[in-house]
Amino acid sequence: MNGFRFELLSGEAIGPRLGRLHTPRGIVRTPAFMPVGTQATVKGLTSEEVQQIGAEMILANTFHLYLRPGADVIERAGGLHRFMRWEGPILTDSGGFQIFSLARLRRLTDEGVTFRSPLDGAEHLFTPERVLEIQRQLGSDLVMPLDVCLGYPADDEKAKEALRLTLQWARRSRAHAAGDGQMLFGIVQGGFSPALRREAVARTVEMAFDGYAIGGLSVGEPREATAQLVEQTCAGLPADHPRYLMGVGAPPDLLDAVSLGVDLFDCVLPTRVARTGTIFTRRGRVNVRNAAFREDAGPPDEGCRCAVCIRYTRSYLRHLFNADEMLGPRLATYHNLSFLAQLMEDTRTAIAGNRFDAWRREVLGAYVTPW
Looking at 3.90.1150.10, 3.40.50.300, 3.30.420.40, 3.20.20.105, the CATH number of the domain 5-267 comes to 3.20.20.105
Among 129, 126, 128, 130, CA closest to 106: 126
| pLDDT the model gives residue 80 | 98
Opening angle at CA 57, ends 55 and 60, nearest 5:
115
- Structure confidence at residue 121 (pLDDT): 87
**Range with the lowest mean pLDDT among 95-99, 220-224, 299-303, 309-313?**
95-99
Helix, strand or coil for residue 183? strand
The pTM is what?
0.96
d(CA 73, CA 195): 44
pLDDT band at 370 (very low <50, low <70, confident <90, very high): very low
By the 10 Å C-beta count (0-12 exposed, 13-18 middle, 19+ buried), 178 is classed as buried
Q: With CA atoms as reference, report the closest residue to 155 among 166, 147, 163.
A: 163
Strands of 31-105, DSSP E:
32-34, 58-61, 90-93
Mean pLDDT score, 103-125:
87
- What is residue 2's predicted lDDT score, i.e. its pLDDT? 76
Residues with catalytic function: 93, 266
Examine the pLDDT at 105 and tell me if it is beyond 80. no
Question: Could you state, in order of their start, the residue ranges of all structural domains in the chain?
Answer: 5-267, 274-366
